[in-house]
Structure 1
Amino acid sequence: MLKFIRNGILILLAFIASFQIVHYLEGNKLYLPPFLNQLFGYFGNTNFEGTSPLDLASIEKETIKSDSPTLHYEPQELPQELPRAQRKNASCIDHSLGNVKVKPQSKIYTWKDENGVTHFSDSKPEDTDSQPLTLAGSKIFNYFKLNISGANVPFEFKEKLTHSINKLFALYGQLIAKEDLRQVVVNLRFFTSKQRFLAYSKKHAPSLKPTAGFYDNGTNEAVIMYQSSEQAITTAIHESVHAINRGIIGNSNKWFNEGMAEYLENITINLSTAIINRNKSWYKNGKLKYRPLPLRKVLSASRNDWNSQSKSNLYSTSWAFIYFLMDDTKRKTKLIKMLKAEQKNLCNTLSFQQTMKIFNMSDRELQNRFSRWLAKGDKFTHQI
């Protein structure tokens, strides 16, 4: 009888374990003790793995009304409405925390008991001979600090956002030498009340059109309307890219800043792999939803151009151009050279002539290559 009960319990445990594994592989969370997550992180990935601390301030606890109209999703970078001299000083503010630092890691101990069973623990056992576990790639870098304020967002949302930002750094680590990376502060303020979001936007960005989110490069704060988890995570990633660009590169051309944010906002995590999907806002049925603009116009566009009727075309073409550069190793090398040149000066941005010099070809030749790439139709997803 006892044997029957024991076997039944074992079968039940095996079923539960199988369910958890399937649950995890379908993209859901499987929560483990911290030291096991750390251990699996060592075995599972690169130097860009890890988590960052979350500082959550619960100011509002309002729920979103189902009948509340949604705001048009077009996250924007807040324009500087200051005199020229003050605007230049604002663009030179360094919001980073300096060079990237290594996170202090707790040790993991391993030992075998009298039955030959191997154990792991983050606490050194008493009266037992144990050894600290030495693992390859044991350094975990503290790439960013995430500060969340405003509305209290779900824990799962924060976890997903943290993992996504970690993967963003995996990408930037491919484009920028590790010694040139900077520790970035990502400040996100969420609202679940449309009325309070609009009031805050009117106070801090009075000239901004109704939008689901904006980034203020003067204060290094992104403000986001939480209408749904899917929309909010996309907007939060978009605005986080602005903060990362600001901290690592400094002041950058708007086509790169917005194009990169549009390129990365649809990033999804599948186990240890990040997949960058095509942006449905700008690309559908194998072509751009808005007529692509000439690259010369995009790469030399002024802020007035970005606020004109060509705004959607500029966003669409900038996204496509970043995708074009990231879609080929040689073209990606040109983007790396451009970012390295941008990093040399925190305040200034590369001119159109300087950018074309890096590409080492005429703008006509670059345009022809870009147009041929666009004409190919559907595009492959990218992986990190």
Structure 2
Amino acid sequence: MNTWMGVILKASAVCLPVLLYLFFDGRQFWLTDFLSNASQDIAVDSTLRTTSAELKQTANPKPHITRHSPVAHLDNLRRFGSCQTDIGRAVKYRVENGIYTWVDSKGVRNYSDKKPSQGATAYQPQSGVALDYFELEISGGAISNQFRNKLRSKLKSVFRGYTSLLGLSAMRKVKLKIIVLPTRGAYERAVRNFGGDLTGNVGVYFGIRNTALLEQRSYEATMRTAVHEAVHAINQAVIGYSPRWLNEGLAEYFESIDVSMQVGKVSSFDHVSRNGSLQGQVMSPHQLMEAETKWRSLKPDILYRSSWAFVHFLMSSSHGKVSLKQLMLLEQSEPCGVLDSAQVRSIFNNHYPTLNQTFSSFINRDIKSHRL
């Protein structure tokens, strides 16, 4: 007994001064903080190790979960998003055969055997053609290599679409971790553990963690949700916070992308009938811009369909692409704020004096797919 007491007293004599030093030096730590962070990682890992009994429940699925929620999805994007005040300003360069290429703040293209010294971020080209902007990590028990490769191919095509619209100098590298949960129960536990609201959704992007949680469904449905959430990650990295219709409209627009022979094609089968006509009600562009603070009270299917329709309309003409580019670059200049409806309308008025009428004419014609 005396021996043990002696050991305990000696250990206390060593540890106590160290802890007191850390406390008064301003580096104190709390065990609860450590346990909280650790428990979140453990909880997500545990959801991936689903029991066989839970997997059997998929044979008797629960009532249909609405894909779009008027509250949870967008509120999660705002609540768990992040922004960088210097977004889009860092010099980006690439290296080929020892030669550095970059565009400086004045828009001048530079070539040198030495990399730029100020605020530079490296983008390594693949096969000397496309820049690898996406650092993607995806996990899930049912996720195959074929799924991973197809998703990467789709996201590269999405990036080519963004680059074609905004220009290379506006692009930013995106880091994203996607975790696919095998059952609804596992998905709900993971979202709750991250502090999110899972009302009516099957995928949530937590920008502050660069992580998206997805519920495992069919192959195609899971793929589309993965692309949708990845577009939210791209939007956050490239333009920062943005109007809800723009953020969701871009995600809806690109989520159905298909790639063949490295060529991306954006279809619209979710919102358009086989004969090419729009299915369902949509809001006018001006109504959509004014609805920024009303997403909680309006029907989600109309909001998502309207957001998609407006983005598809803009991507269908050179005037639309120019106005969309101006809007996104203006948002990029103020990544931690969101333009109000008056600012947005002023941009479109320059190109569409009769925007609502032009949009109405567009949606009453056959709506065609786009090649990126």
| Alpha carbons of structure 1 residues 319 and 105: separation in structure 2 relative to 1, 3 Å | farther
Residues 361 and 329 of structure 1, relative CA distance in 2, 3 Å threshold: closer
Q: Give the structure 1 partner of residue 358 of structure 2.
A: 369
> Match for 2:307 among 315, 318, 321?
318
Classify 1:233/1:80 alpha carbon distance in 2 versus 1 (closer, same or farther; 3 Å). closer
1:217 to partner: Cα distance: 3.0
Counterpart check, 1:355 vs 2:348: no
Q: Secondary structure at the match of 2:136?
A: strand
**1:264-300 deviation line (CA, Å, top 9, x unaligned):** 10000111211110141x3335443331113222112
Could you tell which deviates more after superposition, 317-326 or 343-352?
A: 343-352
Question: 3-state SS of the aligned residue for 2:48?
Answer: coil
Of 237-246 and 208-217, the range deviating more from structure 2: 208-217
Residue 61 of structure 2: aligned partner: 68
Give the alignment partner of residue 92 of structure 1, picking from 76, 83, 86: 83
TM-score relative to the length of structure 2: 0.70
1:246 aligns with 2:239: no
TM-fit CA distance, 1:182: 0.5
Provide the C-alpha distance between the structure 1 equivalents of 2:77 and 2:283, rounded to a whole number of angstroms. Answer: 27
Residues 137/216 of structure 1: CA separation in 2 closer, same or farther (3 Å cut): closer
Other-structure match for 1:270: 260
Mapped partners of 1:313, 1:168: distance in 2: 24
Distance 1:246 1:279, change over 3 A: farther
Q: 1:138 aligns with which of 116, 120, 128?
A: 128
**Aligned equivalents of 1:148, 1:94: Cα separation in 2:** 28
In the alignment, the residues of structure 2 paired with residue 150 and residue 105 of structure 1 have an alpha-carbon distance, to the nearest angstrom, of 38
Q: Aligned letter for 1:77?
A: H
Deviation at 1:66, TM superposition (A): 2.8
CA contact (8 A) 2:249 2:307 kept: yes
When residues 158 and 298 of structure 1 are mapped into structure 2, their CA distance, relative to the original with a 3 A threshold, is same
Of 324, 334, 339 in structure 2, the residue corresponding to residue 335 of structure 1 is 324
1:350 shift after superposition: 1.6
Distance in 1, matches of 2:260 and 2:129, equals 23
Does the alignment pair 1:79 with 2:70?
no
Over 3 Å counting, the alpha-carbon distance change for 1:187 and 1:99 in structure 2 is farther
Change (3 A) 1:319 1:354: same
Q: Do 1:100 and 1:183's aligned partners in 2 also have CA atoms closer than 8 Å?
A: no
| CA distance in 2: counterparts of 1:368 and 1:261, whole angstroms | 25
Query: Structure 1 stretch 224-233 or stretch 147-156: which is displaced more?
Result: 147-156
Specify the SS of the correspondent of 2:204. Answer: strand
**Aligned counterparts of 2:343 and 2:208: Cα–Cα separation in 1:** 26
- Please state whether the residue corresponding to 2:354 is helix, strand or coil: helix
Q: Per the alignment, do residues 81 and 72 of structure 1 end up closer, same or farther by CA in structure 2, a change over 3 Å counting?
A: closer
Q: Give the stretch that moved more between structures: 225-234 or 271-280.
A: 271-280
Equivalent in the alignment of 2:170: 180
Aligned equivalent of 2:207, options 199, 212, 217: 217
d(CA) in 2 for partners of 1:95, 1:302: 25
> Could you say what secondary structure the match of 1:283 adopts?
coil
Question: Does the 8 Å CA contact 1:95/1:247 hold for their aligned counterparts?
Answer: no
1:97-136 pair list within 5 angstroms: 102=94
How far residue 253 of structure 1 moved from its aligned partner, in angstroms, is 0.9
More helix per residue: 2
TM-score under structure 1 normalisation?
0.68
**What is the deviation of 1:355?**
1.4
Letter matched to residue 74 of structure 1: H
CA distance in 2, matches of 1:313, 1:276: 20
Moved more, 210-219 or 90-99: 90-99
Residue 193 of structure 1 is matched in structure 2 by: 183
Aligned in 2, Cα 1:140/1:59: closer, same or farther, shift over 3 Å? farther
SS in structure 2 at match of 1:186? strand
**Cα pair distance change 1:290/1:364, threshold 3 Å:** farther
> CA separation in 2, counterparts of 1:364 and 1:197?
46
Identity of aligned residues (%): 26
Any conservation in 1 of the 2:253–2:268 contact (CA below 8 Å)? yes
Tell whether 2:371 aligns with 1:380: no
- Unpaired segments of 5 or more residues in structure 2? 1-44, 99-125
Matched position secondary structure for 1:380: coil
1:161-191 deviation digits (Å, cap 9, x = unpaired): 0000000110001111212211111221110
The Cα RMSD (Å) is 3.2
